[in-house]
Amino acid sequence: MNLYKTNPNSIVVQDFNSDWVLRITADRRIEVNEGVEVTKAAQKVLDAMQQLLTKGLDKAVADEREACAEICKKHADVYAGLEQNPTTKSAWAACIDNLDAIRARGEA
């Protein structure tokens, strides 16, 4: 299932065999291809939208995970630059452990 814009004002939902199923035209009409039941066309639109939403959500989660890992990296860099004593070594190790754990979640 593909959902794509044919121009800035049109959207087409296409089946796997390249036939269009449903389109929204520039003049705001919704057209269902002849021979396609309206309920099936609607389901295909929902399926295509679900794929887009899932992809977007996956990217947002990955971006947030990386942002958290970067915060841990910045803290680890600060602790690495401080005088080394048991407290700063422990804090540095905790930051590195958290950084590794956050990034590992994306690989699971």
Q: Give the integer Cα–Cα distance in Å for 16 and 12.
A: 13
The whole-model pTM stands at: 0.58
Specify the 3-state DSSP secondary structure of 39. helix
CA distances from 48 to 15, 51, 53 (A): 10, 5, 9
pLDDT, one tens digit per residue, over 8-30 is: 777 788 777 768 888 888 888 98
When pLDDT is averaged across residues 92-96 and rounded to a whole number, the result is: 90
pLDDT, one tens digit per residue, over 58-85 is: 999 999 999 999 999 998 898 888 888 8
- Residue 85 is predicted with a pLDDT of 87
The enclosing H or E element of 6 equals strand 2-7
| Residue 29 DSSP label | -
